[in-house]
Amino acid sequence: MWLKDSSIGRKLLMSISGLFLVLFLTFHLSMNVVAIFSEEGYNMICEFLGANWYAVVGTLVLVAGFLLHIAYAFYLTFQNRKARGNDRYAVTARPKGVAWASQNMLVLGIIVVLGLALHAYQFWAKMQLVELQHMAGAEVCTKYAADGVYYMKEYFTNPIFLVLYLVWFGALWFHLTHGFWSAIQTIGWNNLVWLKRWKAISNVYATIICAGFAVVALWFAFVA
């Protein structure tokens, strides 16, 4: 199968899974922003998603997307290190025009995974998981299972967690500034005019996404 047996095919899997994750982030952010304007509205969304079949299916598809993206990230990086060979240069210099993020995508991705683990533990495991356990008949307290605002206030007023989340958004910003246009380039939708445009769009989009998440966290830390 050319998708996994050719270098462009493997890159296409990275690209499509990455764009899917970008789409998910957009959806997630638009949900979070609601919390600034209406805490009840936000909790209504939590309730609406909860452990309904479509939310569970959505979560499973999302996990699959992440797993594909992460598995190929490690696989490609391993192959690329092998292609580079064992002898390293004694002197290296980053040429002009090469973004730092582009050369550190795996490291940035690993930071994103760590943040994701914390986030899943703090929110998913206390909300959707609790509801699933409840439906399965386990004895769990469901008082806050659909109360996302409660958890946001709880975690973001803790300075350590707040800083961890901000670092997480920072890493994501770097990952997206390169990732977004790189994914477009991998699909082949690029030319001399659009190369610059896609790079600009990546920067703007990454900034909207990451600043958006950060503003919501800061709002619950200092304002709400």
Partner 1 sequence: MDKTINITLKVWRQRGPKEAGKFETYKLNNVSTDSSFLEMLDILNEQLVNEDKEPVVFDNDCREGICGMCSLYINGHPHGPDSEITTCQLHMRRFKDGDTITIEPWRSAGFPVIRDLMVDRTAYDKIIQAGGYISVNAGGAQDANAIPIPKRDADLAMDAASCIGCGACVAACKNGSAMLFVSAKVSQLALLPQGKVEAARRAKAMLAKMDELGFGNCTNTGACEAECPKGVSITNIARLNREFISAKLKD
Instruction: Determine what percent of the chain falls in helix, strand and coil, rounding each to the nearest 5.
Output: 80, 0, 20
Phi-psi region of 85 (alpha: psi -120 to 50; beta: other; left: phi over 0): left
Provide CB contacts within 8 A for 137, sequence distance 6+.
Answer: none
Nearer to partner 1, 43 or 186 (CB): 186
Tokens at 77, concatenated? 């990086």
Looking at the chain, the number of H-run helices and the number of E-run strands are 9, 0
Query: How crowded is residue 174: how many other Cβ atoms within 10 Å of its Cβ?
Result: 21
> From the CB of 96, what's the least distance to ligand HEM, in Å?
19
Q: Is 210 in the site for ligand HEM (CB under 6 A)?
A: no
Q: How far apart are CA 217 and CA 121, in angstroms?
A: 17
The residue from 31, 70, 120, 132 that contacts ligand HEM (CB under 6 A) is 70
Identify residues 99-158 at the interface with ligand HEM (CB under 6 A).
105-106, 109-110, 112-113
Which of ligand HEM, partner 1, none lies near 158, with the C-beta cut-off 5 to 8 A by kind?
Answer: none
CB of residue 17 to ligand HEM, shortest distance in Å: 8
Chain residues binding ligand HEM by CB under 6 A are 11, 14-15, 18-19, 21-22, 25, 69-70, 73, 77, 105-106, 109-110, 112-113, 175, 178-180, 182-183, 186
